[in-house]
């Protein structure tokens, strides 16, 4: 397609479309600048990663669970009771028993969601 083969109405339409494209590109640049100046999201740092609170030591839950179970004796404690005493989520305590806790031979399941330390 060459310019010489276009009619005058097609050329006017082409000019109008090019002007509209330039206006849209200029507007896009403005929007990008506004977004660049927009404050970071709450809870995220400049790299976009979430900010985290202080981390706990990994063995903290294990040590606390074992000490609490030892203190409870043969009657043991339920997952909910342990979670309340340790100020932890009951799901975290439950998952700990069924993953890490099952590797510790001294911890025995004595009932539904109830564990005791027999060591």
Q: In this predicted structure, what is the pLDDT of residue 13?
A: 92
CA distance 119 to 68: 13
Q: What pTM value is reported for the model?
A: 0.51
List C-alpha distances in Å: 70 to 62, 75, 103. Answer: 12, 10, 17
**Residue for token digits 């202080």?**
54
b/e for 63-94, b at 16 or more Cβ within 10 A?
A: ebbbeebeebeeebbbbebbbeebebebeebb
Give counts: helices (H), strands (E), the chain.
4, 3
CA distance 101 to 105: 8
pLDDT in tens, the chain (119 residues): 677 888 989 999 999 999 999 999 999 988 888 888 766 555 555 556 666 666 656 678 888 889 999 999 989 999 999 999 999 899 999 999 888 888 889 999 998 989 999 87
Q: In this predicted structure, what is the pLDDT of residue 55?
A: 63
Return phi, psi of residue 106, to 5°.
-75, -15
């Amino acid at each position: 397609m060459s310019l010489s083969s276009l009619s005058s109405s097609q050329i006017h339409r082409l000019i109008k479309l090019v002007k509209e494209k330039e206006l849209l590109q200029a507007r896009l640049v403005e929007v990008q600048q506004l977004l660049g100046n927009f404050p970071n999201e709450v809870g995220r740092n400049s790299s976009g990663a979430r900010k985290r609170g202080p981390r706990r030591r990994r063995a903290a839950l294990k040590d606390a669970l074992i000490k609490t179970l030892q203190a409870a004796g043969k009657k043991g404690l339920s997952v909910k009771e342990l979670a309340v005493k340790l100020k932890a989520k009951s799901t975290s305590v439950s998952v700990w028993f069924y993953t890490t806790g099952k590797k510790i031979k001294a911890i025995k399941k004595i009932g539904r969601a109830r564990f005791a330390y027999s060591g």
